[in-house]
Amino acid sequence: MRLRTYFLLIFIFSTNFVNAQSKIQNLSKAFNKLLNDDQAKHAITSLCVLDAKTGKVLFAHNEQVGMATASTLKTITAATAFSILGKDFQYQTTLAYSGNITNDGTLQGNLIVIGSGDPTLGSWRYQNKENTVLTQWVNAIRAAGIKKIEGAIIGDDRIFGTQTTPEGWVWQDIGNYYGAGTSGLSWRENQFDIHLKPGNKLTDEVKVVKTVPDMPYVKIVNELKTGSSGTGDHAYAFIPPYSNIGYLRGSWGMGIGKTGISVALPDPAFDCAFRLQDTLKRLGIVSSLPATTTRLMILNNQPIPTVTQKISTINSPTLSEITYWFMKKSINLYGETLLKTIAFKSGKVGTTAKGVETEVNFWATKGIDKSALNIIDGSGLSPGNRITTSAMANILYLAQKEDWFSEYYKALPDHNGMKIKSGTINDVSAFSGYHTDSSGNKYIIVISINNYTGSGINKKLFGVLDELK
Cα separations in angstroms, 357 against 330, 354, 384: 23, 5, 16
Contact 236, 249 (CB under 8 A): yes
Q: Is 90 exposed, middle or buried (0-12, 13-18, 19+ CB in 10 A)?
A: middle
pLDDT of residue 203: 83
Percentage, residues of the chain above pLDDT 70: 96
Handedness of CA 173, 174, 177, 183 (dihedral sign): positive
Round to whole Å and give the CA distance between 109 and 98.
5
- Once rounded to an integer, what is the mean pLDDT over residues 241-261? 96
208, 214, 220, 222: CA torsion to nearest 10: 0
Alpha-carbon distance 379 to 394, whole Å? 19
Amino acid identity of residue 402, one-letter, is: E
> pLDDT band for position 50 (50/70/90)?
very high
Task: Give per-residue pLDDT as tens, 2-37.
Answer: 555 554 445 444 455 556 688 999 999 999 999 999
Per-residue pLDDT at 12: 47
What's the mean pLDDT in 162-190?
A: 97
> How far is 174 from 222, CA to CA, in rounded Å?
17
Query: What pLDDT does 9 receive?
Result: 47
At 7 the pLDDT is 46
The pLDDT of residue 19 is 64
Averaged over 367-382, what is the pLDDT? Answer: 98
DSSP state of 419: E
Question: Does the structure show a pLDDT above 50 at 195?
Answer: yes
| 141-155 per-position pLDDT tens digit | 999 999 999 999 999
Averaged pLDDT for residues 53-62: 98
Amino acid present at 344: F
pLDDT at 411 over 50: yes
DSSP per-residue codes, 164-216: -S-TT--HHHHTBGGG----TT--GGGEEEEEEE--SSTTPBPEEEEEES--T
Summary mean pLDDT of the chain: 95
Q: Which domains does the chain have, with CATH numbers?
A: 21-87+320-468 (3.40.710.10), 92-161+268-315 (3.50.80.20), 171-264 (no CATH)
Q: What is the pLDDT of residue 91?
A: 98
Q: Average pLDDT of 339-354?
A: 98
CA 226 centroid distance within chain:
31
Please answer whether residues 63 and 46 qualify as being in contact, where contact means their C-beta atoms are separated by less than 8 angstroms.
Answer: yes
Res 16: pLDDT = 55
pLDDT confidence of residue 22: 87
pLDDT of residue 21: 80
| Gap between the Cα atoms of 76 and 356, Å rounded | 11
Main-chain dihedrals φ then ψ at residue 467, nearest 5 degrees: -65, -15
Q: What angle do CA 22, 17, 9 make, to 5 degrees?
A: 145
The DSSP result for 207-266, as a single string, is EEEEEES--TT-EEEE--EEEPTT--EEEEEE--TT-SEEEEEEEEETT-S--EEEEE-S
For residues 447-466, average pLDDT: 97
336 near 350, Cβ under 8 Å?
no
Overall average pLDDT of the 292-313 stretch:
98
Does the pLDDT of residue 158 top 80, yes or no?
A: yes
